[in-house]
Every structure is written in C-alpha cells, then in structure tokens.
Amino acid sequence: MVQRCSYVRNLVQSLRAASFPSKLADYRRYTSQAAASVRVASQPSAYSDDEYADVDWDKLGFGLTPADYMYVMRWSKDENFKQGQLRPYANIELSPSAGVLNYGQGLYEGTKANRTEDGRILLFRPDQNAARMRVGAERMCMPSPSIEQFVDAVKQTVFANKRWIPPPGKGSLYVRPVLFGSGPILGLAPAPEYTFLIYASPVRNYFKDGTAPLNLYIDEEFVRASPGGAGGVKTITNYAPVLKAIARAKSRGFSDVLYLDAKNRKYLEEVSSCNIFIVKGNFISTPAANGTILEGVTRKSIIEIARDHGYQVEERAILVDELVDADEVFCTGTAVGVAPVGSITHQNRRIEFKSEGRLVSREVYSTLVGLQTGRIEDKKGWTVEIH
C-alpha cells in the first residue's frame, strides 16, 4: 500500500506540475463542454498536497463539485480489466451506439471517504460496494473488476483527491464508481467493450432540508421494481423511471416517495434512493431483500449496529397498514446516511412518527458516523485507512 500511495502521490504531483486548473470554475467548465478526449487544461496548479480545495465547506450540499482526478480502467474481448489510470476530471468520448446509451447497460456504486479529527482518511466498507457491483454486473451480463481492483481504484481516487475531503464535521468526499458498456452495439446484446471509472465530489446533506425529518408520500400509481426485474441490483435503469414520481411528490411538498410492491400494492419496498426501517418498541423491521429491494451497504451496517445495541431486527414483508402502529420510521443509504421520517402520507391520510427526543435512528446513526469518522474504535474491520 505504501508503494501504491507513493506511486499515486508522484503521479498527482507530475500531473499538477504539467498543467491543471486550480480554480473550481475550471472544473465546472468541463460539465458544459461537448464530449472530448480526456485532456489537461493549461492553467498550472499551485496547491500543495496538504491544502484544502477552495470550497465554502459551510455551504456544502449534495451538488456536483468535481474533484481533480478520476480513475479509468477498460475491458475488451481481447483484454480483461487491468491496472487503470488516474486522469484529470473531464468529459469522455463515447460512441453514439455505446451499449450504455442504447440499452442502459450500466451500474454505479456510491461510497464515502471521511477525514478524522487526527487527520486520517477513512473509507467505509468499500469491499461491500465492490461485491455488490460484481453481483449487479452478472445480472446485467457485464464483466466487472475484481474486489481487489475495485477497492484499490477507490483508494487511488480518494488519495489523489484528498484536498477535496471536507474538514471533520463538514461533510464527506462522495465517491462514485461507474461500470458501463462503452463499446458500440446495434443489435440487442452485451456491449463488446466496457469502461470502469470513478469520480468524486465533496458533499454534505442529501436532502435540501438538511437533517430535518422527511415527509414521504406513497404513490400507488408508480412502482420502483417488479419481481424478476433488476430492482435488487444498482443498475442505472432503476433510477430514471422514479424521477416522475419524485417530481410529483416534491411539487406537493413531500421529501420523497415510498414505493409499494408491484404485485399486491400493499407491502413496503423502499424509497427512491434509500432503504426504510420501522420501529415498534424494541423491534426494528425492514423489508426483506427479495430481488426487488437494493441491499444497501448502510442498511446492512445499521442492521448489525442495531443488534449490537440490543434491538431485535427483522427482515420481512411489511404491510403498509403497519405504519399506523410504528413508533418511529427512518431511512438509510450512503447518500442520506440515516434520516428520520416525520410523516408518511398514504391515500390522503398523513401518519406521523416520533422525530424528537430519544430516537433509535439517532442512536444507531451516532454509532455509524462514529465508526466512519474514527471517533469510535472499529472492532469490525469496516473502515479502510488511506495512508
């Protein structure tokens, strides 16, 4: 690892010495340009490795603020995935007939890097993201990086962009690995070439209201996933279809949509971008991952943390009618963390939940964040330190 980080450090320094913009505006400029080959801008950078990027950390939200570098690795029928490259963040070239554009053959992951009070940089369970991508790739008929390749690529990306990791308590560096069919294909078939890339952006709260309790809406017209489909993997095709439901809910003043099962329309599944939990006394329940629900890394972690705290956690089918008896409801996800739910509206009936005082969600979230930021000793081997 020391040799690898030394390699990354030297590469980053050489790229900066060659030419790369030092102002945030220069990075944002890339997002509006036409697709072009990866290139290095002509403005030299004067930042040292130890300086923070020029960001107002107190105003950080969940918008795209591209960090300096991205990681790129490719696969073809003649050559499997091998060591990729760090490149300046920029647009990429893509064939109009690329599999991802024509048939939606793509997956993505999300993980975070945090800066501890004593200056360390920690990743949280990146191997779980790697394993989930491999499962998704198999479902989508795609090759995928090995778990070791995935984790190593995340480490390199984070190390190269470490000045974009917010100060302790000010947010995280969100890391987005993407795997997609980049090769040209006309007939419906797997693409002949694939690209694995990782980019990063500093973020803070996912919802615009920050840590305020969410107000969810159950939309019975739309479903997120169907039995036999791909709802259980993180394919890109699961997300655009929910945009209409989200837009409609937000126009009515709600935070997001809670979806029911496609077959019976009476069991809870998940929210657009996160899993859901309900609390009744000492029991915590979450919908079972049965192929239509994404097995979130945060979901998996919260289940174990809650059990460590003495709660009885069940993964089971949850009837929508059970909401009226719930003491507390909360959502989990890499982007949202652990978010309390203040209310859920179903068939014009608003059901309210406890969102103040001693909350189970706050208790388990405190432990989760403590592990992610190094404030709590990691006895589970969940965190990965980048030197």
Read off the pLDDT of residues 141-162 as tens digits, 9 standing for 90 and up: 999 999 999 999 999 999 999 9
- The answer for residues whose C-beta is within 8 angstroms of residue 343's C-beta and 6 or more apart is 213, 215, 216, 350, 351, 352, 353
Count of C-beta atoms within a 10 Å radius of residue 356: 9
- Per-residue pLDDT band for 387 (boundaries 50, 70, 90) equals confident
Question: What does DSSP assign to residue 64?
Answer: -
The mean pLDDT of 80-102, rounded to a whole number, is: 96
CB 238 within 8 A of CB 203: no
Please name the residue that has the structure tokens 């107002």. 56
**CA distances in angstroms from 210 to 141, 314, 335, listed in the order given:** 38, 29, 12
Q: How many CB atoms lie within 10 A of CB 287?
A: 21
- What type of residue sits at position 84? G
Rounded Cα distance between 275 and 303, Å, is 11
| Helix count and strand count (H, E) for the chain | 8, 17
Q: Place 206 in a pLDDT band, splitting at 50, 70 and 90.
A: confident
36 pLDDT above the threshold of 70: no
Has residue 328 got a pLDDT over 80?
yes
Does residue 307 register a pLDDT over 60?
yes
Region of residue 59 (phi > 0: left; psi between -120 and 50: alpha; otherwise: beta): alpha
In this structure, what are the phi and psi dihedrals at residue 103, rounded to the nearest 5 degrees? Answer: -130, 10
Catalytic residue (choose from 82, 234, 280, 354): 234
6-40 burial, b at 16+ Cβ within 10 Å, e below that, comes to eebeebbeebbeeebbbeeeebeebeeeeeeeeee
Q: Which of 75, 162, 183 minimizes the C-alpha distance to 119?
A: 162
Q: Among this protein's residues, is 244 annotated catalytic?
A: no
Query: 113 pairs with which residues across the strands?
Result: 123, 173
Tell me: pLDDT of 246 over 90: yes
Residue 28 has pLDDT above 90, yes or no: no
Structure tokens at 26: 């220069």
Summarize pLDDT for 352-382 with one digit per residue, the tens: 999 989 999 999 999 999 999 999 999 999 9
